[in-house]
């Protein structure tokens, strides 16, 4: 009777090991009609993205500033009304109204200010492009992180089930006198560790869901079915951008800001130059005997002395330009470092994935061999538990390596300024 029970327990344990070795989920996968893909999630995030709304408002403000700078170079029309008189009763009292039209002819500081506003608008457009790229980056990162955590949680649950089955089997053998108490307790310890890992994984999975909801502004994503990546899906190696293929929007924005500050320095330097304007005036005397007339004049203004105000403004503009150049230089170094780092990170992740998947078959065979050896008395319970642990670690390493590879690919393309809609669509084609 004891031998029959032992054979049944052995068959059940072997079935649990086979379930652990397979990568198929115990639950049916959601249908393609109900599961959401990456593009759908990103479109929901685009519908109400506060960072993009902020950048759009800032760009509109800079566009208005450019219109204002250009308008200051055009005709200016003013209406003036004056009334005056003296203390003496015999002093003449005046009441006069006039229209004054002024057209700047030569005003280099205003021209430079307009050019600076134009460069700042270009910086705003680049910042908006960078914001759109960052939104795509966050959508993609959250999507692949959610998939990886789901896969890791599935592996952890299957490992938890295998340990629980082993602990139950060893408990039965211990009660029948076929196994030592230490083997039973050791199986329970591995089960408890697996239970703790599963609880921690579930909390991390919930946190990623909450992050996805906050990103997309859609509470329905908390429990919505999400399509996952294929088990063998890996990104291609990152290639260095071709010469003349453009730079990162971050670089474009910083370079435009540098150019704007350079124009502001030119404006500060030219503030000491003369300005020339054409004025036309129509007047009307509003006394008891109204009179009216008109005249025009060319007005030349030559700055002479301002107690050092223009010199201080010029020095401040020079230092702002110097700071912008330093920031641009540092950004170029950071982007080059980021591109090289992510390329190496991707290659390393691909190698780790190949190592993990290559060792899975050997680990599965080891689990089966340890089971047989345990039944024959040539292998201990520790050998079986460690074989199961190794198999679970290899599967988790494969999941982590796949995640690391895709994150490196995403971040590398962002550093190159190439994570566009096409890259997002390419990632979407790798879904199951």
Is residue 309 predicted with pLDDT exceeding 50?
yes
pLDDT of residue 5: 41
What is the average pLDDT value for the chain, to the nearest integer?
A: 87
CA-only gyration radius of the chain, Å: 37
Confidence of residue 1 (pLDDT cuts 50, 70, 90): very low
Confidence of residue 65 (pLDDT cuts 50, 70, 90): very high
pLDDT of residue 191: 87
pLDDT of residue 289: 59
| Mean pLDDT in residue range 237-252 | 79
Structure confidence by residue, pLDDT tens digits, 195-205? 999 999 999 99
Q: In this prediction, what percent of the chain has a pLDDT beyond 90?
A: 66
Is residue 7 predicted with pLDDT exceeding 50?
no
| pTM as predicted | 0.83
> DSSP labels for 216-240?
HT-GGGGT--B--B-TT--PPPP-P
Confidence of residue 392 (pLDDT cuts 50, 70, 90): very high
Is residue 16 predicted with pLDDT exceeding 50?
no
Which tokens sit at 127?
A: 């910042």
Distant-in-sequence contacts of 147-152, Cβ < 8 A, 24+ apart: 147/226, 147/228, 147/229, 147/403, 148/399, 148/400, 148/402, 148/403, 149/201, 149/204, 149/205, 149/208, 150/205, 150/226, 150/228, 151/228, 151/399, 152/201, 152/396, 152/399, 152/400
Structure confidence by residue, pLDDT tens digits, 356-367? 999 999 999 999
According to DSSP, the residues that pair with 299 across neighbouring strands are 277
Is residue 74 predicted with pLDDT exceeding 50?
yes
- Domains for the chain: give ranges and CATH numbers: 2-24+34-81+94-428 (1.20.1600.10)
Structure confidence by residue, pLDDT tens digits, 129-173? 999 999 999 999 999 999 999 999 999 999 999 888 888 888 887
Is residue 214 predicted with pLDDT exceeding 80?
yes
Q: Decide which of 244 and 360 is more confident.
A: 360
How far apart (Å, rounded) are the C-alpha atoms in residues 160 and 153? 10
Confidence of residue 23 (pLDDT cuts 50, 70, 90): very low
Is residue 25 predicted with pLDDT exceeding 50?
no
pLDDT of residue 247: 78
Check: CB of residue 283 under 8 Å from CB of residue 293. Answer: yes
């Amino acid at each position: 009777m004891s031998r029959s029970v032992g054979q049944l327990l052995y068959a059940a344990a072997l079935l649990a090991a086979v379930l652990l070795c397979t990568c198929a989920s115990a639950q049916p996968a959601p249908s393609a009609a109900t599961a959401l893909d990456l593009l759908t999630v990103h479109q929901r995030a685009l519908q109400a993205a506060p960072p993009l709304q902020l950048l759009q408002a800032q760009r509109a403000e800079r566009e208005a500033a450019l219109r204002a700078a250009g308008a200051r170079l055009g005709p200016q029309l003013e209406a003036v009304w004056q009334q005056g008189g003296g203390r003496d009763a015999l002093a003449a009292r005046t009441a006069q109204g006039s229209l004054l039209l002024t057209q700047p002819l030569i005003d280099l500081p205003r021209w430079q200010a307009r050019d600076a506003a134009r460069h700042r608008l270009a910086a705003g457009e680049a910042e908006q492009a960078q914001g759109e790229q960052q939104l795509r980056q966050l959508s993609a990162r959250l999507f692949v992180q959610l998939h990886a955590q789901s896969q890791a949680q599935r592996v952890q649950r299957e490992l938890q089930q295998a340990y629980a089955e082993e602990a139950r089997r060893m408990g039965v053998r211990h009660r029948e006198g076929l196994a030592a108490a230490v083997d039973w307790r050791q199986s329970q310890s591995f089960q408890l560790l697996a239970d703790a890992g599963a609880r921690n994984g579930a909390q991390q999975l919930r946190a990623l869901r909450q992050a996805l909801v906050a990103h997309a502004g859609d509470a329905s994503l908390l429990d919505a079915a999400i399509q996952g990546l294929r088990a063998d899906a890996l990104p291609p190696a990152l290639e260095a951008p071709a010469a003349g293929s453009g730079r990162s929007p971050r670089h474009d924005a910083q370079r435009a800001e540098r150019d704007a500050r350079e124009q502001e320095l030119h404006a500060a330097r030219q503030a000491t130059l003369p300005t020339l304007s054409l004025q036309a005036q129509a007047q009307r005397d509003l006394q008891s005997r109204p009179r009216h007339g008109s005249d025009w004049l060319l007005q030349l203004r030559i700055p002479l002395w301002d107690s050092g105000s223009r010199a201080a403004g010029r020095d401040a503009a020079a230092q702002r330009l110097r700071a912008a150049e330093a920031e641009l230089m540092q950004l170029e170094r950071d982007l080059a470092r980021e591109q090289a780092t992510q390329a190496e990170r991707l290659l390393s992740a691909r190698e780790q994935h190949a190592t993990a998947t290559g060792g899975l078959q050997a680990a599965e065979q080891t689990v089966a061999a340890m089971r047989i050896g345990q039944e024959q008395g040539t292998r201990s319970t520790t050998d079986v538990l460690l074989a199961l642990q190794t198999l679970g670690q290899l599967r988790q390493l494969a999941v982590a390596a796949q995640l690391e590879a895709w994150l490196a690919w995403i971040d590398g393309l962002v550093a190159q300024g190439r994570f566009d809609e096409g890259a997002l669509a390419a990632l979407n084609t790798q879904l199951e």
